[in-house]
Structure 1
Amino acid sequence: MANTKRASSYNVATRGNLLDAAERLFATRGYEVVTLKEIAAAANANVGQISYHFGQKDELINAVILRRAGAISEERTQLLESYERLVGPAGCELEPIVRAFLDPYFAKLKSDDPGWRCYALFIGRNVWDAKLAEAITEGYNPTAHRYIEAIRRAVPSLTEVDGVRAFQFLLAGLYGSTTNDSRINGLLGDDGLDVDYDGYQKTLVPYVVGGIRSIGVMRDSTGTKP
């Protein structure tokens, strides 16, 4: 029994180490060029252990995506549901909805866990990659649909397409703020801008809220549909 417990603990720890190592390497070098051998070496493991826990490289990539997607999606859902219980779904306003989505992500990036910052680089640079679409859909779409519905309730004039586009713009702003964009750093001549999460958070919230409200005003004033 003791040997079984030790083996079980070892397997769990190795799985986590492999995910951490893959996450770091995918963030710094890109998931397509990193090899299983490099991941195993970074985790002080061997390729056979990757095969045991994940099978092929594609399954490892999916596991990296889903591990933290589950955590952040659960927190976002809980915040939105708590807000809806407080004021009622029809009473929800746009800014608290946007904050419920953005604030947990920034909080994790500002935490003591460097893994979240690696994950942000990996996801932010690959979120539109069709090769990863299945895992991203699995990890994020249920929560995304909940937020799109909430956004449309808060701004009733938005069409279904408007709601999806608004959410897409929200994501673009979030990932553009958290992926060490050298272009932005170069424009300001400030290499430290990439970790100014407070600055990005403070400006991103009103930017997103104002943009979505403007789409609603446009629909109200013209009555046009896409």
Structure 2
Amino acid sequence: MPNRSIPPSRPADTKTRLLDAAEAQYIDSGYEAMSLRQITARANANLAAVNYHFGGKDALIHAMLTRRLDGLNANRLALLERFQSIHGAHLTCEHVLGAMFIPALQQSRCPEKSGPALLRLLGRAYTDPSPFIRGFLRSMYTDVAERFFAAFQTVLPHLPREELGWRLHFCIGSLSGILAGADTNSLIDDFTQGQRLNDPQLIGRLALIMVAALKAPPAAIKAPCPFQSMFAECEAAPGETLESDTAAQHALA
């Protein structure tokens, strides 16, 4: 029988395998815990291939993230501009949230664009504490963040800039943590007891929580924080709270 040797991989095949392996390893481990040896083993490639195609780990991760995020963010901005053009002064908080999340959900349904792994990739990227990842996101997507922040300011004019920043940070950070650490489809099945939500319903559930948090009236500047006393009680010595309560009762008697 003729010797049917396996043809050597083309450079493009090796490059794509490395990108796919880096994405899977990053989702599993995060930037600091992943190594080139883990990536190359997963890609069935060698370290020389990483240097040849990318020049090193940082450049590989940069290429892996831009491969997914560049197109996604372009679609987000295009949808935001479409909503702004259609609705003008009637643009709502829901429209801005829709522009953020609808493209991601649509892309996650497309196997050719990484499918469900995209949501976990987004969750990992936006919660990764690595200075490299934080710096990469700031340098590459500052314009996207500013455009969306400006849109939120337009639809939430009652919130000071700093307060809006904190609320967006908490909302998006909480969602990202869920996406990064769990099988989202399994979670949805658990929450809905097997009754599948279509994508508009899923975005609607998400927006219901986030819009409520974003639209809440800001706290009065001089209003006492209820958690201040809780922290004081937590740090008090075992008998201290009781003695202070007794003293207060005598003072009021």
Is contact 2:122-2:179 (8 Å) kept? no
Residues 33-48 of structure 1 mapped to structure 2, 5 A cutoff:
33-48=33-48
Give the structure with the larger helix fraction. 1
Name the CA distance, whole Å, in 1 between partners of 2:176 and 2:79: 20
Q: How far has the Cα of 1:161 moved from its partner?
A: 0.9
- Answer yes or no: is the 8 Å Cα contact 1:22–1:64 preserved in 2: yes
TM superposition shift of 1:15: 2.3
Name the aligned partner's letter for residue 55 of structure 1. Answer: G
In structure 1, the residue corresponding to 2:111 is in which secondary structure? coil
C-alpha change, 1:116 and 1:166, in structure 2 (3 Å) is farther
Provide Cα deviations, 1:39-58, integer angstroms capped at 9, x if missing partner: 22322322111111211212
CA distance in 2, matches of 1:122, 1:33: 15
Return the offset for 1:67: 1.8
Match of 2:154 in 1: 153
The one of 207, 212, 221 aligned to 2:209: 207
Cα 1:30–1:218 shift into 2, 3 Å:
closer
CA contact (8 A) 2:107 2:118 kept: no
- Measure how far apart 1:113 and its partner are: 4.3
Alignment of 1:109-188 (within 5 A): 109-113=108-112, 115-128=114-127, 129-131=129-131, 132-181=133-182
Percentage identity across aligned positions?
A: 26
Q: 1:130 to 1:197 in 2, by over 3 A?
A: farther
The one-letter code of the counterpart of 2:210 is: V
List runs of 5+ in structure 1 lacking aligned partners.
Answer: 1-8
SS class of match (1:137): helix
Q: Which amino acid aligns with 1:68?
A: R
Larger CA Rg, structure 1 vs 2: 2
- Contact 2:27/2:180, CA 8 A, preserved across alignment: no
For 2:47 and 2:180, locate their aligned partners in 1 and report how far apart those are by CA, in whole Å: 29
Q: Which 5+ residue runs of structure 2 have no aligned equivalent? A: 1-8, 223-253
Distance 1:60 1:108 in 2: 22
CA 1:120/1:11 → structure 2, altered by over 3 Å: closer, same or farther?
A: same
C-alpha separation between the residues in 2 aligned to 1:177 and 1:201?
Answer: 15
User: Which residue does the alignment assign to 2:92?
Assistant: 93
Tell me which residue corresponds to 2:104: 105
1:81 matched residue in structure 2: 81
* Conservation of the 8 A alpha-carbon contact between 2:32 and 2:130: no
Alignment TM-score, normalising by the size of structure 2: 0.69
2:39 alignment partner, SS class: helix
CA–CA separation in structure 1 for the residues paired with 2:170 and 2:112 = 27
8 Å Cα contact 1:166-1:212 kept in structure 2:
yes
Deviation above 6 Å: which 4+ runs of structure 1? Answer: none
Seen in structure 2, the aligned counterparts of structure 1 residues 189 and 119 have a Cα distance that, compared at 3 Å, is closer
C-alpha deviation, 1:74, in angstroms: 0.5
Q: Secondary structure at the match of 1:206?
A: helix
Distance 1:114 1:137, change over 3 A: same
